[in-house]
Structure 1
Amino acid sequence: MDDDTITIRLTRDQALVLSDWLHRAMFQSNDLEGILPDRAVWSPIYSISGTLDKALPEIFMPDYGQHLAAARERLHRDLHGEADEPTGPLE
């Protein structure tokens, strides 16, 4: 059963925003264990993060912040009908 794989499909905007959140949760919060105390969860989190890093050249671009802000705005608009302001450091 361990050889079975699951495919998750995300839009580019979803992938970009998720990648940013994962990066902040994993590398900037210094509290991955506090956020995800079950270390078994870390394996898929690292796998997803690595896959997103390879698929998103935007994260290495000088205007990354602009790409991220635009993606966040589109996702907020799609979900809520309008752009929302971020609510916290790990929104």
Structure 2
Amino acid sequence: MSDSQVMIKLTRDEALVLSHWLEQLRTADPGRVVDDPAVWAPLHRIAGTLDKALPELFAPDYDHRLETARQRLRPDG
């Protein structure tokens, strides 16, 4: 089996919400959610890629942007 790459495409809203969730996961008690240490390598790669792709993570109105993205992604939103 080759070690080829997989590409995942996300909307900006999806990327912002996922980035926030990954950050919460990293700063909480990750052992309760992720029980296999092998999972951390891809999670860190995804989080790093999102950090580089989303300048709004460092915007003064980040909380507002995050909540707006969440609202757009919710099925009832």
TM class by smaller structure: over 0.9
Whole-angstrom distance in 1 between the partners of 2:55 and 2:7: 20
Give the aligned partner of residue 75 of structure 1: 73
Structure 2 unaligned spans of 5+? none
Root-mean-square deviation over aligned CA pairs: 0.8
Partner of 1:62: 60
Letter paired with 1:24: Q
TM-score (norm 2): 0.93
TM-score (norm 1): 0.80
Match in the other structure for 2:8: 8
For 2:31 and 2:5, locate their aligned partners in 1 and report how far apart those are by CA, in whole Å: 26
- Give the count of matched residue pairs: 76
Question: Which whole-Å CA distance do the structure 2 matches of 1:25 and 1:10 have between them?
Answer: 19
Alignment of 1:19-38 (within 5 A): 19-27=19-27, 29=28, 31-38=29-36
Amino acid at match of 2:7: T
Q: Which has the higher contact order (CA 8 A, sep 6+)?
A: 2
